[in-house]
Amino acid sequence: MAGRLYMDATITLNRSLSPRGFKVLFGLVVAANVLFAIFLFVLGAWPAPMFLGLDVLAVWLAFRASFRAAERAERVQVSAEEVRVMHEDGARRRIVWRSPTAFTRVDFQKYSEHDTRVRLLLSGRAFTLAKSLGPHERGKFANALQDAIREARAERY
């Protein structure tokens, strides 16, 4: 985008488990499964440890998918010329919304205390954004986005 950016916000999912926490948790899962596998093997249930190994593999795959999802982000940029929304997956970016700043409106709807929606509107088209934010944060984001669009329009006209 050329010119000054009035907003350059990146919205990501909040992850409560750090990489160090994952190592500790996964170590505990492996240790518990190994101890239980040894116990079952001593009792004569020799096929059971194989299934416990599959259990560890399934937990690892689930966390791998979760950490990959944590790399996703939504980036909102506002300049005097346009409003742009991009989805980012690691190094890959794709533009999902582009509209002229002069004609773009922000719509914030509050259906209930826990159900809100932020949308960009342009000539009958609508795009919902900031889905990963909580209801309160969506309201703050909608206000900040509206302010950025207002400032960008003031520069242009």
Residue 155 confidence (pLDDT): 80
**One-letter identity of residue 20:** R
Give the mean pLDDT per block of 10 residues along the chain (157 residues): 83 84 94 93 89 92 86 90 89 87 91 88 91 89 93 80
Residue 34 confidence (pLDDT): 93
Residue 72 confidence (pLDDT): 85
Residue 46 confidence (pLDDT): 86
Any idea which architecture 5-11+73-156 has in CATH? Roll (2.30)
Residue 92 confidence (pLDDT): 82
Residue 157 confidence (pLDDT): 61
Domain regions of the chain by residue span: 5-11+73-156, 19-70
